Structure 1
Amino acid sequence: MVIFMLVWQGLEEFFQVVEQGSFTKAAKELDVSTSHISRQLTQLESRLGTRLINRTTRKISLTDAGHQYIISLKNIRQALSDATDHLQGTQQAPQGLIRITGAGDFVSKQVAPVLAQFMKRYPQVSIEMNFSARNVNLIEEGVDLAIRFGRMQDSNLIARPLCARHMSLVATPTYLNDHGIPTTPEDLIKYNCLVAITNRWRFNIDGKIKEIKVQGNWRSNNPDAIKQACMTDLGIAYLAKDLVQPQVDSGQLVYLLDDYQVNDNANWLVYPKKDLIPHRVRLLIDFLLVHFSEN
């Protein structure tokens, strides 16, 4: 017990200095003196045999060792919280915060309504939805779930497919009348291509997957912005088929090079590998998987 207390000594002070950004604010948060914070950190660094924080008169900054240590400590603290949540959650109605990140039309129009249904069933659960196109580090930033699109490669995460999402090339009849119709993927280098996630578009050519590097004068990480630019006759877009199907049906857009399309993309539900997942998060994972498997 004494050894455990000694190991834990100074960690809360270290947490608060990092989170608050200064010794003074950390002392105020913990209701102790600044000298107490400084003394605890000095003793912690002495026990570890390494400096964790660079101290200057104006600001503090983490050393490389300090950065790695705070990540590990956050994981430990999260694991303790998860263990408590899991035990309590299996014995009572789920409650607490679930943090989710994702972006795009699929998340806002198809995932968000399902989250609302989940909260109606479990009213003591809170959801924080961050619509960010940034590839958030789930573990470092304490995010429970992410909705991502494409092909998953990160072995530190669990990825469960929600639904397949086929890609398509589209352009307006006016743009094609003015510039001609591409007959092979290689022809795309001659056209103004509207770039969303990447300018390397994948095609099935002679049974092999090949990337074509395209270029154009319009780029956005928002698929709807790409679609709107395409509909104003600006160029050729590479978008999810469900996003442009209404405009194709109405004749505003035309599919191109369908025979070359690669259909191995999907929308994924992604979350960190953990021995214990909070009960409320596990319930939401199952809720989403069942919903999309049935629809």
Structure 2
Amino acid sequence: TYGEKSIAPLVNDFVLRYPELDVDMKLTNQTLDLVAEGYDLAVRMGKLEDSTLMARRLASRTLYVCASPDYLATHGTPHSLTELANHNCLLGNLDYWRFQEAGQPRNVRVTGNIRCDSGRALLDAALKGIGIVQLPDYYVQSALDSRLLIPVLTRYQEDDDGIWAVYPHNRHLSPKIKLLLDFLSESLKPGGSPPDAANADY
């Protein structure tokens, strides 16, 4: 969803600005092998595991645990991490949620009756009162602002983590890719705008 909502429109803007450049874009939740599959650049979320890649932070994201007012009215509001065991937690690819307690990261194993690799599907389930969900801000911010979802366990909320552009360290960063990196980085800054194209050299 982040790729569709935020990255793809910016790449399209990039192509409008530089129509002589060709772009081959793949949107997937899978972690691709950039070197083996020949990709110049990827955008990844959260903690980076692959130390063989160079990384540039593009933006931040915030994870929220939230539920609908109807769910909380029926099942109660959890006030501690241990209370999650008493709730229907809507799961993504992982069977744990990430928190911070006493300044230290903590993963809490959760269970529920829905597991899905689509954030949109989990958001829909939460909005319909099926359970509690942990999702990034770009899925839930609108629902939080309109009070369709209520944040819970906010004192255990993990610090913001990154949205990163990554690329192979042993591959020369071409002027075209550097141009796209700068474009994404400037565009994704709060209140940001793309860099001036007047002096682009590629």
Q: Same fold (TM over 0.5)?
A: yes
Aligned to 2:107: 211
Aligned to 2:86: 190
2:144 and 2:151 in contact (8 A); partners too: yes
1:158 and 1:271 in contact (8 A); partners too: yes
Q: Which amino acid aligns with 1:206?
A: A
Q: Which amino acid aligns with 1:280?
A: K
Q: Of 12, 19, 23, which residue of structure 2 is paired with 1:116?
A: 12
Max radius of gyration: which structure? 1
Q: How does 1:270-281 map to 2 (within 5 A)?
A: 270-274=166-170, 276-281=172-177
- Which ranges in structure 1 are unaligned for 5 or more consecutive residues? 1-104
Q: Of 149, 161, 169, which residue of structure 2 is paired with 1:265?
A: 161
Q: Which amino acid aligns with 1:240?
A: P
1:122 deviation in Å?
1.3
1:193 and 1:237 in contact (8 A); partners too: yes
Cα gap change, 1:226/1:212 in structure 2, threshold over 3 Å: closer, same or farther?
A: same
Q: How does 1:1-295 map to 2 (within 5 A)?
A: 105-274=1-170, 276-293=172-189, 295=192
Q: Which amino acid aligns with 1:152?
A: L
1:139 deviation in Å?
0.5
1:227 deviation in Å?
0.2
1:253 deviation in Å?
0.9
1:165 and 1:263 in contact (8 A); partners too: no
Cα gap change, 1:275/1:241 in structure 2, threshold over 3 Å: closer, same or farther?
A: closer
2:114 and 2:187 mapped to 1: Cα distance? 36
Matched residue SS, 2:112: coil
1:160 deviation in Å?
1.0
1:208 and 1:136 mapped to 2: Cα distance? 30
1:169 and 1:237 in contact (8 A); partners too: yes
1:264 deviation in Å?
3.6
1:206 deviation in Å?
2.3
Q: Which amino acid aligns with 1:150?
A: G
Show CA shifts across 1:223-265 (max 9, x none). 1111001111110000112321221222211110111101242
Aligned to 2:195: none
2:27 and 2:172 mapped to 1: Cα distance? 26
Q: TM-score, length-normalised on structure 1?
A: 0.62
Matched residue SS, 1:129: coil
Matched residue SS, 1:139: helix
1:230 and 1:237 in contact (8 A); partners too: yes
2:68 and 2:148 in contact (8 A); partners too: yes
2:43 and 2:163 in contact (8 A); partners too: yes
2:63 and 2:160 in contact (8 A); partners too: no
Matched residue SS, 1:111: helix
1:281 deviation in Å?
1.4
How many residue pairs get matched? 191
Q: Which amino acid aligns with 1:121?
A: R
2:100 and 2:159 in contact (8 A); partners too: no
1:275 deviation in Å?
5.0
- Which structure has more helix as a fraction of its residues? 1
Matched residue SS, 1:140: helix
2:98 and 2:127 mapped to 1: Cα distance? 22
1:153 deviation in Å?
2.3
